[in-house]
Amino acid sequence: MKKILALTMFAMLVLFLAACGGDDSSEEGNTDSESEGNGSEEASGDSGDSNGAWTPSESIEIVAPAGAGGGWDTTARMAAQTMTEEGIIEQDMGVVNKEGAGGAIGWAYMAEKAGSNHNLFVSSSPILLVPLNGQSEYGHEDFTPIANVIAGYGAFAVAKDAKWDNLNELFEDMKEDPQSVTVVGTSSPGSMDHIQFVRFAKAAGVDITKIKYVSAPDAGGVTQVLNGSADVYSTGVSEIAEQVRADKLRVLAVTSEERLDGEVLSTFPTAKEQGIDETFVNWRGFFGPNDMDPAAVKFYEKKFKELSDSEAFADIRANYGWNEMYMGSEEYKEFLDKEKQNLKEILDELGLTK
């Protein structure tokens, strides 16, 4: 009887321990399951930091929709270099050139990157002008504005021995006979170099529909002015400074509100100080593809603000004659929409919209 009772008690103890062990296993299983679930969330969010914000998980490609050495290329490379050297973005950043059709080749390439958070490109006024004159099916509305970072300005230059001493003298001749003066620029008719000159000529009372404008890609405008086949070179300030230093060209006016800083740049008069109430800003900033993650937009927006505020980039701006002009994503989009409408009015008057 005692044996039976002992065996019964032993069996009950075994069952009790087994039950406890089963509960422990179940709890351990739940812990493992939760752990796997957390790991899965971390894997799917591996491009986020400890606060859940988006960060790059692969190399970042920046497209310059033009050849090496131009304004877009220089802006892209200086921004990438500064961000890397200053530790603003730790992920690798590379710049590639997609040149052709005034930027349209690069924009078509970026249109194929819709939804990507690791592809950016730099642009300026041509992304508004080129679609308006029918040379590209893509415009700023097809991409994600991230941040504008700099402002450049235009310059109207003539040969050292040209007969005009100031912009008013040039425009007086053009008011009498607009086609007596040949204006040359790097961009195509209806694009930036053409339109910036037209805006000032219009403000001075010149019949802009009769202005003789020719395009000379690859910096051929300097050659044409020096050999006399063109009279005025409409270009960017940074593209003309060296020719002035070399005493080959003179600048009749720059398109900025006030005189620019710099030993040479400060000698260039503005159109405003000559009584022509007009300015033109060659803004330059960065875009992402369409359908970019809003969290990625916020990340890049913040990083470009850090870039803009850095002393290193301030030195670069001074070196290239750029001014600071930071705009975040929403402000940038509103600016682009308004600027496009202003440019459309001029192109309509010239009969260049399509």
Domain boundaries, the chain: 60-152+282-350, 153-281
CATH 3.20.20.70 fits 60-152+282-350, yes or no: no
Q: In the prediction, which pLDDT does 220 show? A: 85
pLDDT digit string (tens) for 151-195?
Answer: 999 999 999 999 999 999 999 999 999 999 999 998 889 999 999
Counting as low any pLDDT under 50, the low residues of the chain are 1-46
Q: In the prediction, which pLDDT does 41 show? A: 32
Q: In the prediction, which pLDDT does 61 show? A: 98
At 94, the amino acid letter reads: G
210-to-6, 229, 244, 253, 310 alpha-carbon distances in Å: 117, 18, 29, 21, 45
Q: In the prediction, which pLDDT does 320 show? A: 84
Classify each residue of 76-101 as buried b or exposed e, where b means 16 or more C-beta atoms within 10 Å of its C-beta: bbbbbebbeeeebbeeebebebbbee
Q: In the prediction, which pLDDT does 77 show? A: 97
Predicted structure pTM score: 0.79
Rounded Cα distance between 193 and 288, Å, is 25
Q: In the prediction, which pLDDT does 47 show? A: 58
Do the domains 60-152+282-350 and 153-281 sit in the same CATH topology, yes or no?
A: yes
Which CATH number applies to 153-281: 3.30.360.10, 3.40.390.10, 3.40.50.11610, 3.40.190.10? 3.40.190.10
**143: nearest Cα among 121, 172, 168:** 121
Q: In the prediction, which pLDDT does 149 show? A: 98
Question: Which 8-state DSSP code applies to residue 265?
Answer: G
Share of the chain above pLDDT 70, in %: 85
At 85, the amino acid letter reads: E
Q: Residue for token digits 């679609």?
A: 131
Residue 123, phi then psi, degrees to nearest 5: -155, 175
Rounded Cα distance between 135 and 78, Å, is 28
